Amino acid sequence: MKVTNVYHNSYDLLSIPKAQARLFFTSRYVDTILVGDSGVGKTSLLVQFDQGKFIPGSFSATVGIGFTVMLLGDSAVGKTCVLVRFKDGAFLGGNFIATVGIDFRNKVVTVDNMKVKLQIWDTAGQERFRSVTHAYYRDAQALLLLYDITRKSSFDNIRAWLTEIYEYAQKDVVIMLLGNKSDMTAERVITHEEGEKLAKQYGVPFMETSAKTGVNVELAFHAIARELKHRNLQQPHEPKFKIHDYIESQKQKSSCCGSLV
Ligand SMILES: Nc1nc2c(ncn2[C@@H]2O[C@H](COP(=O)(O)OP(=O)(O)OP(=O)(O)O)[C@@H](O)[C@H]2O)c(=O)[nH]1
For residue 170, the model assigns a pLDDT of 95
Widest CA span of the chain, in angstroms?
63
Gap between the Cα atoms of 206 and 161, Å rounded: 15
Contacts of 1 (CB under 8 A, 6+ apart): 31, 32
Gap between the Cα atoms of 111 and 93, Å rounded: 30
Interstrand relation of 206-208 and 174-180 (parallel, antiparallel or unpaired): parallel
Neighbours of 258 (CB within 10 A): 8
Q: What is the chain's mean pLDDT, rounded? A: 82
Segment 102-145, tens digit of pLDDT: 888 999 999 988 889 999 999 999 988 888 888 899 999 999 99
By most ligand atoms within 8 Å of CB, the mutation choice from 70, 75, 80 for ligand 1 is: 80
Query: In terms of Cα–Cα distance, which of 137, 161, 142 is closest to 77?
Result: 161
Residue extents of the structural domains in the chain: 32-62, 66-254
Segment 206-233, tens digit of pLDDT: 999 999 999 999 999 999 999 999 988 8
Put simply, whether the predicted model's pTM sits higher than 0.90 gets the answer no
Q: Is the CB of 78 under 6 A from ligand 1?
A: yes
For residue 127, the model assigns a pLDDT of 87
Q: Is the CB of 124 under 6 A from ligand 1?
A: yes
Q: Whose CA is nearest to atom 27 of ligand 1?
A: 96
Q: Give the H or E element holding residue 107.
A: strand 102-111
Mean of pLDDT values over 179-198: 98
- Burial environment of residue 126 by CB neighbours within 10 A (0 to 12, 13 to 18, 19 or more): middle
Q: Is the CB of 180 under 6 A from ligand 1?
A: yes
CA of 93 to the centre of ligand 1 (A): 8
CA of 213 to the centre of ligand 1 (A): 13
Q: Is the CB of 247 under 6 A from ligand 1?
A: no
Segment 240-260, tens digit of pLDDT: 888 988 988 887 665 444 556
Class of the domain covering 66-254: alpha beta
Segment 62-84, tens digit of pLDDT: 556 899 999 999 999 999 999 99
